Amino acid sequence: MGIISRGFSGRSREHNPDLPPGQFLTTDFPVLSAGPTPRIDTAEWSFTITDESGLMHRWSWDELMALPVEDIATDIHCVTRWSKFGTSWRGVSLDTLFAGIDTKYAYTMVYSYGGYTTNVPLADLLGGKAWVAFEFDGAPLDPEHGGPARLLVPHLYFWKSAKWVRGIEMRKSDDPGFWEQNGYNIYGDPWKEQRYS
């Protein structure tokens, strides 16, 4: 327990088992990004996965839409301490996208339009844990929230759910991405409060 803050009572004492430590609930959907919002036309959009041999698997927007689409209901947790419960998304599972990828590497670097990167272990992208999402709350994903498509990895802090995603590269080692080079944790488990490096 920390030092007592004279006169501070705080707001809520109800322990919510779905709320990771140090988080508070919001009904808003705050926007956090490091620069201007890129605007990407779906006609020019593509998504790629590149394996260690340099082989690039590519999907156009129409090809992505032709894949099985899943409804995702999930809580999301931002490192800036807000959590939002029961968000609803539609997207394509990374299991589907990785089905034809032959790789022995265990790590990935995720790339975005606009230059953002984030590193995620492959195991955290597979097994029904991650999607390329293009709908939020029944509507196309807004550009400021990462549209036309963003990565959705809701079991990690939300900076790992790269907005404006454009591709994934297989990596032999867990190299830090953008925020991970700027003071944030290499993995980002909200339940272990892995916020900072």
Q: How far apart are CA 87 and CA 162, in angstroms?
A: 17
Min separation Cβ 28 and another protein, Å: 6
Nearer to another protein, 35 or 100 (CB): 35
- By CB under 8 A, is residue 35 in contact with another protein? yes
Q: Show the DSSP H helices in the chain as ranges.
A: 61-65, 94-98, 178-181
Binders in 136-155 for another protein, by CB under 8 A: 144
Min separation Cβ 104 and another protein, Å: 33
Q: How far apart are CA 132 and CA 72, in angstroms?
A: 11
Is the separation of the CB atoms in 177 and 118 below 8 Å?
Answer: yes
Q: How far apart are CA 175 and CA 107, in angstroms?
A: 8
Among 16, 18, 34, 55, which residue sits at the site for another protein (rule: CB under 8 A)? 34
- By CB under 8 A, is residue 117 in contact with another protein? no
- By CB under 8 A, is residue 68 in contact with another protein? no
Residue matched to tokens 């409804």: 71
Nearer to another protein, 86 or 100 (CB): 86
Q: How far apart are CA 179 and CA 109, in angstroms?
A: 12
- By CB under 8 A, is residue 14 in contact with another protein? no
Min separation Cβ 161 and another protein, Å: 16
Among 28, 41, 44, 71, which residue sits at the site for another protein (rule: CB under 8 A)? 28
Q: Which stretch binds another protein (CB under 8 A): 64-72, 76-84, 86-94, 126-134?
A: 76-84
Q: Which stretch binds another protein (CB under 8 A): 41-49, 92-100, 127-135, 180-188?
A: 180-188
* Helix, strand, coil fractions of the chain, as percent rounded to 5: 15, 30, 55
Instruction: Give the three-state DSSP class for 77.
Output: strand
Residue 99, judged by CB atoms within 10 A of its CB (0-12, 13-18, 19+), counts as exposed
Size of the site for another protein (CB under 8 A): 38
Q: Which residues bind another protein (CB under 8 A)?
A: 1-11, 13, 22, 24, 26, 28, 30-38, 78, 80-82, 114-115, 144, 178-179, 181-183, 196
